Amino acid sequence: TGQCYHTFRGHSAEIVCLSFNPQSTLLATGSMDTTAKLWDLEKGEEVATLNGHSAEIIALSFNTTGDRIITGSFDHTVAVWDVGTGRTKSLDLEATNKNATGKYELCEAAMQCCLCVQLWNAETGTHIATLAGHSKEVLDVCFDYAGQRIATASADGSARVYNAGTKQCIAKLEGHEDEISKVS
């Protein structure tokens, strides 16, 4: 119908990322104000504020079971939050997306002149692989819903698709004249 159900207010700076919880009515937002917020979509209310980053939150995503949220910040950390308690375990990474298969993998797209994506194990913090190929900064990264492919967007005007199992580039998507800032 195009009807607006709720307008959520509470961040003190721009909202730069959001994610819907796949198992509930929660929405998470990440902001330049260094916080993430959880919102109840049905009630139109703020549920929680996740504090802990010292710089802007630039990426966030729920896991497939909806009990964890992963945030990535310009403070060069990734935090894995328990949705119920708001507690976190910080990892020394930069931006993230949760693998939709439920495997605990993170993608890092370093927003400060990184031409590649790092793949990490979210439980152990162990580095898994480096996905390379872009000629300018990687600006966004995401897994497909099956967790079989990883897509990247870059300031070089291209997107790439990698096989999550083999870590090989399986498609180069070219044709934009300027940067691609988001991929889904």
pLDDT in tens, 135-152: 988 888 888 878 899 999
Which of 184, 167, 173, 77 is closest to 134 using CA atoms? 173
Beta bridge partners of 98: none
Overall residue count recorded for the chain in this entry: 184
Biggest distance spanned by C-alpha atoms of the chain: 46
Domains present along the chain, CATH in parentheses: 15-136 (2.130.10.10)
Position 54 scores a pLDDT of: 94
The position carrying tokens 């990883």 is 150
pLDDT in tens, 110-142: 343 477 888 877 667 778 888 999 998 888 888
- Cβ-Cβ contacts under 8 Å for 85 (sequence gap 6 or more): none
Sheet containing 117-121, strands listed edge to edge, beginning at the edge strand earlier in sequence:
105-109, 117-121, 127-131
Whole-prediction pTM: 0.66
Mean pLDDT computed over every residue of the chain = 82
